[in-house]
Homo-oligomer: A and B are copies of this chain.
Amino acid sequence: MDIGTPVPRRRMRADARRNYERLLAEAAAAFAEHGADFSLEEIARRSGVANGTLYGHFPTRRALLEALMGDRMRALAAIGQELLAHPSPFEGLTTWAHAALSHTATYRGLGTALMQAVEDETSELHMACKTVLAAGEGLVARGRATGEVRPDATAADLYALINAAAWAGEQSSKNQGERLLTFGLDGYRASNFRHG
């Protein structure tokens, strides 16, 4: 269940790498604290770097988010793969969904970013989202096959539910995210499905 920290993909000059890492660290802190609409200018300032440098490394806010999130998302998908072996399909599904919520709730605004990225093929996060979605699909399909999960449930529904729960948790001082997810997952039970 390890979710790693990001590492630059290509070779870089030493100073560039230093700045890259510092920027990422400051961005992670700001993201966790202020949400996805933190000020890029401030990230640069706090990293002791001109803002042009930030834009050099991360041309868009999204590029910065991908660098922060990509590895975590892929790790989440891997957890989903493992849970396909869970003895109870429904429990595997709910365990994964809660792990996904916990991941998404780490950064405010992440749910929103993920909902957009999954539909936007130009997004740097798009591929990572697809991977997560595929992991969800595996779990949902297994549940449908054993009859525990209602037949009209899709991975897209699950993905939306998880992100919506993360969103609700951000808005509310109470534990609304977990509650929404729990109630929502109960709605996935086949026993609860009414035809028509």
Residues of A within 8 A of B (CB): 112, 115-116, 119, 153, 156-157, 160-161, 163-165, 167-168, 171-174, 176, 179-180, 182-189, 191-194
Contacts and interface: CB of A to CB of B under 8 A. Distances in A.
A115 B191 contact: no
Nearest to A194: B186
Interface residue SS majority, chain A: helix
A180 B153 contact: no
Nearest to A189: B192
B163 A168 contact: yes
Given A187-B183, A191-B191, A192-B186, A115 B172 contact: yes
Contact of A161 (B116, B156, B173, B180): B180
A176 B191 CA distance: 22
Contact of A167 (B157, B167, B172, B176): B167
B191 A119 contact: no
Given A156-B176, A189-B192, A191-B191, A116 B183 contact: no
Contacts of A187: 182-188, 192
26 contacts: A112-B171, A115-B171, A116-B171, A119-B171, A119-B172, A153-B183, A156-B176, A157-B176, A157-B179, A160-B168, A160-B171, A160-B172, A160-B176, A160-B179, A161-B183, A163-B168, A164-B164, A164-B168, A184-B184, A184-B187, A186-B186, A186-B187, A186-B193, A189-B192, A191-B192, A192-B192
A128 to B, nearest CB: 17
Most chain B Cβ neighbours within 10 Å, of A112, A163, A194: A163
A172 B111 CA distance: 12
A182 B187 CA distance: 8
